[in-house]
Amino acid sequence: MKKDDNAISQIMGACLLLLIALACFSMIYMYVFTYPMPNPAPYVEIVGSIEGGNIVLLHFGGENLKLDTQLIMNKGNTTEFTTVENYLDSKSKNNSFWNIGERLLYPIGDVTGLKVAVSVIDKDTSSVIFHGWLKDTFSDTYNFSKGIGKQYDIIRIPNTLNVIMAYTDKDNDGFVLTLELASDGDITTILDSLEFDPNFCMYPKLIHVSGSIYAICYRGQGSAGTIKTVQIASNGSINDTVYDTQVFDFVQCLEPDIIHVSGNVYAISYRGDNDDGFLKTIGILSDGDITAVIDILEFDASMAIASDIIHISGDIYAIAYSGEDDDGFLKTVEIATNGAITNLVIDTLEFDPLAGKNPVIALVDGDIHAIAYTGENSHGYLKTIEIDGNGTINNAVIDTTKFDSNKGEEPDIIHISGNIFALAYSAAGDVGNIITVEIANDGSIIDPIIDAFEFSAFCRNPHIIHVSENMYGVAYLGAGNNGFMTTVFINSNGNIY
């Protein structure tokens, strides 16, 4: 019989093919995987703008960048190649890196009619980590009432980028309008408007009631304290008629401020008859119906100008105002959830015995509050005080700083994030200015000012609100008695851009 060896030949052939494949794979592995792989490009967020003839690049987040990181600056038809090291200030580059929160300034000069672009190149990976066309600033300005704007207030429509303005026109009539904003800060258009009082309106203050219902509290015809409710949809559409009207003071109401207490109850502080300080509670139902006055307290029998009321804790509220001789006063009162006001002021502090004009108060942390105001010689002051949950005011001011030693009139204050606050005010020469400051939880005011931004060449009576994420809106009286709104961006560490 003949021996059959076919099976052995097939096995040997398969083994040889496998060995060849393994040898080829080993050669490829040794060639590819031992070859040095390129480093990944650094992840970084950079925000660019043009301010005062400079390109400003803000390191907004991500990894720190080396000083030899390359910059390509395009202005019209000209291009310059440079590095971060050449334009980062000496303090920022002490640790040999461009770190988060640090700004780089590159002088660009006049760019009128020219396109400006910036590219940031990581030298180690030859990767573009930032490229963008820049505009003059990330802010935008809109003249919402040409030739008519006087006094006004501003709030945001919840869950939208639309805002509501209430203001007084050139004939002292009351108007409300809505503006549309884009996420990049552009103010696109007026959505709708309504003349809610064709006779007289001064010092209008807006407050959201419920759903599409908003209330406007103001000095009406004959100086009467007046509240009206209007209906404004989330898309900015305004109902053509006022929903309800109520006069809460037939004698006098100047500079009213309104706050929600509980349910349908609202409180109004204002300068009433004989310029005395009054506090009243009133009911505003969710459908816009306004009820009669619930209770009243005369909290200052001498004078109370430009009061600002804030909730402290439970039934306790604080009122900051300019009192007799323009001194700065703070008082605490008790308002029950049903609108009943305790007959006596709980506590009083004269926080500035020289001058305390146009004070605004904000919560810092726990019992600590900050008051910004115009003090002696029109300087801008910021003070911190302690108000216990029971209404007791610590007799001593915790800390004081001059946020503007030249002029700081009509300030408004808003919390940004953590211990960072922003103040918008009318500075020297009536320019509109925003600064950011840090206030510790114990009331210590950290010097110096974090950042500053001039948002208008002329500004009176600015009001600042939070719109969305890092975007804020400022409404103010601008040049020619026109009403203006400007958007600015402020990040969590206080940088304004």
Q: What is the pLDDT of residue 22?
A: 73
Question: Mind listing the pLDDT tens digit for each residue in 20-52?
Answer: 777 777 676 666 555 555 567 888 888 888 887
Q: Does the pLDDT value for residue 218 go beyond 90?
A: yes
Please, which residues have CB within 8 angstroms of residue 182's CB and are 6 or more apart in sequence? 161, 188
pLDDT at residue number 43: 87
> What is the spatial distance between Cα 424 and Cα 445, in angstroms, rounded to a whole number?
17
Exposed e or buried b per residue across 433-449, where buried means at least 16 C-beta atoms within 10 angstroms of its C-beta:
bbbbbbbeeebebeeee
The conformation of residue 303, written as its DSSP 8-state character, comes to -
CA atoms within 13 A on the CB side of 140: 14
Coil, strand or helix at 182: coil
Cα–Cα distance, 359 to 109 (Å, whole number): 39
Model confidence band, residue 11 (pLDDT cutoffs 50, 70, 90): confident
- Residue 36 has a pLDDT of 56
- pLDDT > 90: percent of the chain: 72
Query: Which domains, and CATH codes, for the chain?
Result: 44-133 (2.60.40), 140-489 (2.130.10.10)
CB 488 within 8 A of CB 434: yes
Q: Give the chain's length.
A: 497
Highest mean predicted confidence (pLDDT) among 77-81, 143-147, 401-405, 469-473: 401-405
Looking at residue 37, its pLDDT comes to 55
| pLDDT given for residue 9 in this prediction | 66
Strands of the sheet with 357-365, listed across from one edge? 357-365, 368-374, 380-386, 399-404
- Residue 360's pLDDT is 98
Q: Which residues of 97-108 are buried (b: 16+ CB within 10 A; e: fewer)?
A: bbebebbbebeb
Phi-psi group of 470: left, alpha or beta (phi > 0 → left; psi -120 to 50 → alpha; rest → beta):
alpha
Instruction: List pLDDT tens digits, range 293-317.
Output: 999 999 999 999 999 999 999 999 9
**pLDDT digits 0-9 by tens, 179-198:** 999 988 889 899 999 999 99
Encode pLDDT of 343-390 as tens digits: 999 999 999 999 999 999 999 999 999 999 999 999 999 999 999 999
Residue 456: pLDDT band by 50, 70, 90 thresholds? very high
pLDDT digits (tens, 9 = 90+) for 144-190: 887 777 888 999 999 999 999 999 998 999 999 999 999 888 898 99
pLDDT at residue 1 in the model: 44
User: CA–CA separation, 472 vs 488, rounded Å?
Assistant: 5
* Mean pLDDT rounded to a whole number for the chain: 91
